[in-house]
Amino acid sequence: MYAQSLMPRNHPIYAQSLFSRDQQSSGDSNATLAVSGLVIALAVVSVGLRFYTRIFTKSGLKADDWSILSAVLFTLATAAVTLAANSIAPNGLWVSENTDTSYTYTAHDVLYLKLAFATSILYFTIATTTKLAILLMYNRIFNVSNAFRAQLYIAISLVVGWWIGCTVASFTNCIPLKWSWINSFADPKYCFDYNLFWMASGACEIALDVIILAMPVSVVVRMKMSWRRKGLVLGIFALGAFTIVTGLVRVVLGYKKGSRVPSYSNTEVVRLATHLPPTSKAYWQVGIYVETLKRALDT
């Protein structure tokens, strides 16, 4: 890339590299748009089914319903921002990882980076409202002892603390803030190492997901029902392992050795895929299965 920056702009190799860059960026952009469309569809359908079921069964809407609805609304907002960013600057992913010191940022490039910054902030809010929805569901279904209630409060505190820490860190990534979108090199004079932060926040999120998924196991095992039914209930919650897998992929692919920014080209689709848990969880973890699950536990 350094040798490329020394080439004349009319050099055929330079022109060919620009064409390859734009072609790859276009492919990444198309993949992002496709996943965004899938997220929007799943969000609307799954949460719509959930609210329909809750109203149809006259179960009433609870705190976990509103929390998962908030997660989906933030997901829709993120998808909309992502679509807008990719339409404004189709080669935006390349711009976000640019190391060519001779490259001149266009107004569209700067706008893309601003929108990308917004999605990184929204990501933590989406993940947090989703986790809170699950914990609130636990409180509604498994609130059977003071010990479990204490575990819930601790887990909620950890999730909220993670959200506050990551959100504040993202806003203070660069001081002054404008360096977050006018310089993709993440100049150490103004910005901390966001590459390490992205990996660390992802690792903490995986730990939170493991804790949340493990919480109902002891409660279900102690319940007076057949092991077949216990296995069915635990199997429903085991589906949440999807979030752990996507979290691991995000951490592994996102880390870019020797760089101060994550590899957005590797994680753009994965980051959108991790927005699927707010929709898929809304369906099978805090979705229409909840009523069936509650009836099973009550019998």
Assigned domain for 10 exists:
no
Instruction: Please count the structural domains in the chain.
Output: 1
Per the prediction, the chain carries an average pLDDT of 73
- For residue 142, the enclosing domain spans 28-298
Peptide bond into 262 cis (omega under 30): no
For position 72, which CATH number holds? 1.20.1070
pLDDT at 75: 83
pLDDT at 264: 58
Buried b (16+ CB within 10 A) or exposed e, 70-88: bbbebbbebbebbbebbee
Dihedral angle, C-alpha 202, 208, 213, 219, nearest 10 °? 170
Assigned domain for 22 exists:
no
Residue 163 has pLDDT above 60, yes or no: yes
Q: What SS3 class is residue 69?
A: helix
Task: Please choose, from the candidates 288, 260, 281, 238, the residue with its C-alpha nearest in 3D space to the C-alpha of residue 128.
Answer: 281
Residues constituting the chain: 299
pTM: 0.74
Assigned domain for 51 exists:
yes
Assigned domain for 7 exists:
no
Confidence grade of residue 263 (pLDDT, cut at 50, 70, 90)? low
Confidence grade of residue 283 (pLDDT, cut at 50, 70, 90)? very low
Helix (H) or strand (E) segment spanning residue 256: none
Mean pLDDT, residues 29-33 taken together: 59
Assigned domain for 13 exists:
no
pLDDT at 150: 92
pLDDT at 166: 94
- Chain-centre distance for alpha carbon 215: 22
Residue 83 has pLDDT above 50, yes or no: yes
Assigned domain for 131 exists:
yes
Task: Please choose, from the candidates 30, 39, 6, the residue with its C-alpha nearest in 3D space to the C-alpha of residue 87.
Answer: 30
pLDDT at 168: 94
Mean pLDDT, residues 5-22 taken together: 40
pLDDT at 233: 73
Assigned domain for 280 exists:
yes
Assigned domain for 11 exists:
no
The helices-and-strands tally (H runs, E runs) of the chain is 13, 0
pLDDT at 276: 46
How far apart are alpha carbons 191 and 181 in whole angstroms? Answer: 11
